[in-house]
């Protein structure tokens, strides 16, 4: 059985590459819903339906034992329902994990925290809620950064510069000790964000946290890790092969990985 990684687009490839670097022996299936990206401005119901279709595909067609929802909007708006309803009814022996809680746990080590995320993730209040569960005295400041996902998908670092500055400005005005990059696309701009935020601000990036947390999870849950095959394979599945899919998958994952277009069964 495989480890499945799902994202609304291709930003999750940054996470997938980091996970694979940490645990190269396992077999991976990545699914990017490139036809419907971005999820950040969608309704709760739409995000849940899209996420359920993608997760279902990874379980049924790719035989995944565990699926990582490498999309913060889906982690914020759909993960709990997927775990409690969909998984319980369809695949009770398997697991769905998100990327939001590991980042929130890391952020909770600080007392003044900025969160840069999509509009959907900010509106859900999930980061604030999860950080405050771990650290009641923490102050959390959020700001949506809607343009960063499409700019990352287009590979536009230079054009993104002014937007990064604009989105960080209200967070930096609050004098944060740390800023969470609350979207899996944002590590693409990590060096720019670090430079603008300055050396005193800790940048919490999911590509650095999630692989370590997943490795620890699998170590503690042998009922999942024991099912995983170890042939070091990886495949990239997308719902639409757009002009930049091949370019970005080569850049963010691996040159030689074949890209396969899939058709989701709408249930």
Q: Over the chain, what is the mean pLDDT?
A: 94
Q: Of the residues 183, 201, 218, 237, which is catalytic?
A: 183
| Total count of domains within the chain | 2
- How many CA atoms lie less than 13 Å away from 211 in the CB half-sphere? 17
Which of 176, 173, 205 lies closest to 189 in space, CA to CA?
205
pLDDT of 67 strictly over 90: yes
Contact 55, 69 (CB under 8 A): yes
More confident residue, 216 or 247: 216
- Domain residues for the domain of 44 are 2-98+208-261
CA 137 from centre of chain: 27
pLDDT of 50 strictly over 60: yes
229/159 same-domain check: no
Active site residue 54: no
17/94 same-domain check: yes
| Residue 191, in any domain of the structure | yes
pLDDT of 17 strictly over 90: yes
At residue 248, the pLDDT reads 82
16: domain CATH number is: 3.40.50.1860
Percent over 90 (pLDDT), the chain: 84
| Residue 266, in any domain of the structure | no
The mean per-residue pLDDT over the stretch 28-42 comes to 91
One DSSP character per residue, 238-258 reads ES---TTHHHHHHHHT-TT--
At residue 63, the pLDDT reads 98
pLDDT of 256 strictly over 80: no
89/112 same-domain check: no
76/124 same-domain check: no
116/82 same-domain check: no
pLDDT of 250 strictly over 90: no
| Residue 267, in any domain of the structure | no
At residue 57, the pLDDT reads 98
9/72 same-domain check: yes
Distance CA 152, CA 208 (A): 18
Residues 179-230: pLDDT tens digits? 999 999 999 999 999 999 999 999 999 999 999 999 999 999 999 999 999 9
Q: Of the residues 71, 160, 179, 201, which is catalytic?
A: 71
């Amino acid at each position: 059985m495989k480890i499945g990684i799902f994202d609304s687009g291709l930003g999750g490839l940054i996470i997938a590459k980091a996970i694979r670097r940490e645990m190269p022996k396992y077999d991976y299936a990545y699914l990017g819903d490139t036809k419907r990206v971005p999820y950040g401005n969608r309704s709760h119901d739409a995000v849940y339906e899209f996420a359920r279709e993608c997760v279902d595909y990874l379980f049924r067609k790719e035989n995944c034992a565990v699926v990582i929802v490498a999309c913060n909007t889906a982690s914020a708006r759909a993960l709990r329902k997927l775990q409690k309803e969909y998984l319980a009814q369809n695949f009770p022996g398997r697991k769905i994990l998100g990327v939001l809680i590991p980042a929130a746990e890391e952020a909770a080590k600080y007392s003044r925290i900025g969160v840069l995320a999509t509009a959907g993730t900010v509106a859900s209040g999930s980061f604030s809620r999860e950080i405050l569960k771990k650290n009641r005295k923490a102050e959390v400041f959020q700001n949506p950064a809607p343009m960063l996902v499409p700019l990352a998908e287009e590979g536009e670092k230079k054009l993104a510069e002014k937007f990064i500055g604009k989105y960080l400005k209200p967070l930096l005005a609050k004098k944060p000790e740390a800023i969470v990059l609350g979207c899996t696309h944002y590590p693409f701009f990590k060096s720019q964000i670090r430079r603008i935020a300055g050396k005193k601000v800790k940048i919490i990036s999911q590509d650095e946290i999630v692989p370590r947390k997943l490795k620890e999870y699998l170590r503690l849950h042998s009922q999942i890790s024991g099912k995983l095959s170890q042939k070091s394979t990886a495949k990239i599945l997308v719902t639409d092969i757009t002009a930049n899919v091949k370019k970005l998958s080569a850049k963010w994952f691996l040159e030689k990985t074949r890209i396969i277009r899939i058709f989701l069964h709408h249930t």
